[in-house]
Amino acid sequence: MAQNDPLAPSGRFAVVQSGAAQTPPMGWNPWNAFHADVDEAKVRAVAKAMVDSGLAARGYRFVNIDDGWALRRLADGRLQIRSNTFPSSHVEGSATGSFKPFTDALHALGLKAGIYTDIGRNTCMQRWDAGVPNLPVGSVAERQVGSFGYAVTDMRTIFADWRFDYIKVDACGVADYTPADPPVTSGAYNAFPPLIVRGNIPASDPKAIEGLYAALGDAVRRWGGETATLSICAWGEALSVLWGPRRGNLYRTSPDIESNWKSMLANIDSVVDGALYAGPGHWNDPDMLEIGHGDFDAAHPTEARSHFTMWTIMAAPLLLGYDLRHPDPALHAIVSNPEVIAIDQDAAGNQGIGYRDGDAMVVVRTLAAAGTRAVAFLNRGAVPVEARVSWRQLGFAPGSHARVRDVWARRDDAAASDLIRVTLPAHGSALLRVTGTPADPGAVPLDAMPARIHVAVDGLSRANALPMGRFPARVGATPDGAPLIAGGQPVGGIGVFANSRLEVHADRAFSRLVATPRVLGGTGPVRFQVYADRRLVQEVSAAPGKAASIVADIRFASVVELVTRQPSNGGRPPMVAWSAARMVR
């Protein structure tokens, strides 16, 4: 095997494993409520409300500040805080000021503190919100408050000196300051040759931007310790969702959410097929909650509940964005529901697997408790629909009975068998907790353990990458979205491209891997290899349209790797499937 062979087994489960964000972060961020008009009084009042209302006790711990806190970068490279809006940062004799009093106050409330920067030289608001309050001031150089070139020193200041626990790192600085952009042509900002060209993966430079986030992430952990949290905000551009699991604790999958139904649906769609890219310590981020605003305000409890239902089933971060100083009992009841929050925070960390039938959507999430699934149903449309989930989708034995709990109603329903149907009003949703008998009690299908799978290599290059929002490796489906079928029946498994390598965190819990891999296109055969802690334990070859059979001995393996190989002609490799793959105990 060539030494630089990207398909060579690593023996590692190479997602971020610092200890941060073992469940999706929960908290509050001012952006959706106040945009740039943020100040310390508001943030501290919200923090107090978070504690007094009981939200903190339900798990909302992070109070994050977003864009708008930096006044300037001083000639010596240090950042100066805007002390007129954050008065506690004023320190006699200090040119920069300090956020330590502010984070001390949050920590004293039992909360954690988050802050914001940009991976480039300038932030998003500088580019997109000309004229808003709280823009940085001074010369072109002084207004370069982003962390490009300052990753280590900024993270030292932010984590070691100011004691933040969390940082969101935006990416406008490497996307929106091209030589042709108006604020650059006017001389207000220096040009930054774009590493992200929005909507254009081949013209972007995913490797370079991943490198910047990797270096910044190292500095976050060096100065912030093992639980310091890094939120990557590159909106799913430049393949950031694909490399995010190795670099950040959460990574945006879409453009900014807006407070309307259509935008929320788009953000669901940006993430719902991405279960293989999320797990403890590394979460897909469809953006902060818009509950409390627009289509999700107190007058729209159905929509607000649907928004919350979908974020919890997708194991999304739960960052509230409304002004908690003016609480609303109906909204509070939604976002504080302990059984719903428990689904989002489930220890197994599996993101739900989505299915669509017209406007009806169902998402099935395997929970940590034995035989237990959370099931979310969503009506995307404006007329009532019936939605259903089958025992096959739940992985339950045909004919077996399951216990059903309606999570929002906090009510145990009658036991069900083979199929559950619900009728949903316009924009309505339902959330169930279902406990049944797994079809194969001695094994775990890979479908039911996406959090323990990392797509280390997906077989695609940036030139032939799938468009943004599409995932090159999927649970139960091909990368095109067709269900994995054998003998006319859906069989589950992982669909991916050839020349891929998947790392499975087996953690010594399994004895065999059983699968019937298939080649779904192309002309030549594909080799399927199974490695257990870097040792090749089985290898089979299959021709296009054909299946092979694998029973691999993986006893005592910590990391099992599933590799597919076909000599490359430089184009997009054929799709393959690890059909019916399961780990036998």
Rank residues 31 and 34 by Cβ distance to ligand GLA and give the closer one. Answer: 31
Of the pair 197, 543, the CB lying nearest ligand GLA is at 197
Q: Give 124 or 451: the residue with its C-beta nearer to ligand GLA.
A: 124
DSSP state for residue 358 in the 8-state scheme:
T
Least spacing, CB of residue 31 vs ligand GLA, in Å: 5
What are the angstrom distances between the C-alpha of 341 and each of 58, 344, 449?
8, 5, 20
Q: How far is the CB of 196 from ligand GLA (least distance, A)?
A: 12
Nearer to ligand GLA, 31 or 189 (CB): 31
Closest separation in Å from C-beta 44 to ligand GLA: 20
As measured in angstroms, the least distance from the Cβ of 279 to ligand GLA is 23
Residue 262 or 421 with smaller CB distance to ligand GLA: 262
* DSSP track, 443-491: EEEGGG-GGGEEEEE-S--STTPPPTT--SSEESB-TTSPBPEETTEE-
Angle between helices 301-313 and 261-269 (to 10 degrees): 10
User: What residue has token string 């302990």?
Assistant: 338
Q: How near is the Cβ of 232 to ligand GLA at its closest, in Å?
A: 11
Give the integer Cα–Cα distance in Å for 118 and 170: 4
Assess contact for 202 and 112: CB atoms under 8 A. no
Give whichever of 67 and 344 is closer to ligand GLA, judged by the CB atom: 67
Q: CA-to-CA distance for 272 and 268, rounded, in angstroms?
A: 6
DSSP 65-98: --SS-EEEE-TTSPEEE-TTTSGGG--TT-SS--
Nearest to 429 by CA among 337, 506, 323, 535: 337
| Residue 256 Cβ vs ligand GLA, minimum distance, rounded to whole Å | 5
- At its nearest, how many Å lie between ligand GLA and the CB of residue 255? 8
Kindly state the smallest distance separating residue 405's Cβ from ligand GLA, in Å.
35
H/E stretch holding 308: helix 301-313
- 562 within 8 A of 530, measured Cβ to Cβ: yes
Instruction: Provide the minimum distance between the beta carbon of 67 and ligand GLA in the complex, in angstroms, as a whole number.
Output: 4
Describe the crossing of helices 40-52 and 100-108 by its angle, rounded to 10 degrees: 10
Q: Which is nearer to ligand GLA, 105 or 167 (CB)?
A: 167
Max CA pair span of the chain: 76
Question: Quick check: 247 and 283 in contact, CB under 8 A?
Answer: no
Non-local CB neighbours of 69 within 8 Å, separated by 6+ positions: 38, 81, 82, 85, 86, 115, 116, 134
Residue 293 CA to residue 295 CA, distance in Å, equals 6
Nearer to ligand GLA, 72 or 433 (CB): 72
CB of 233 to ligand GLA, least distance (A): 5
Q: State which residue, 67 or 290, has the beta carbon closest to ligand GLA.
A: 67
Angle between helices 240-247 and 206-224 (to 10 degrees): 20
Taking the complex as a whole, the smallest distance from the CB of residue 69 to ligand GLA amounts, in Å, to 11
Cα 361 to Cα 471, 474, 574, distances in angstroms = 18, 17, 29
Using the minimum distance from each CB to ligand GLA, give the nearer residue, 67 or 346.
67
| Smallest gap from residue 263 Cβ to ligand GLA (A) | 13
Closer to ligand GLA by Cβ: residue 259 or 429? 259
Helix and strand totals (H; E) in the chain: 13, 33
Residue 158 CA to residue 167 CA, distance in Å, equals 9
**Closer to ligand GLA by Cβ: residue 124 or 320:** 124
Ranked by CB distance to ligand GLA, the top (closest) residue is: 124
| 438 vs 482: CA distance, rounded Å | 24
- Spatial separation of the C-alpha atoms in residues 203 and 193, rounded to whole Å: 11
Task: Rank residues 174 and 275 by Cβ distance to ligand GLA and give the closer one.
Answer: 174
Least Å distance between CB 103 and ligand GLA? Answer: 19
Chain residues binding ligand GLA by CB under 6 A are 31, 66-67, 123-125, 170, 233, 256
Encoded amino acid at 9, one letter: P
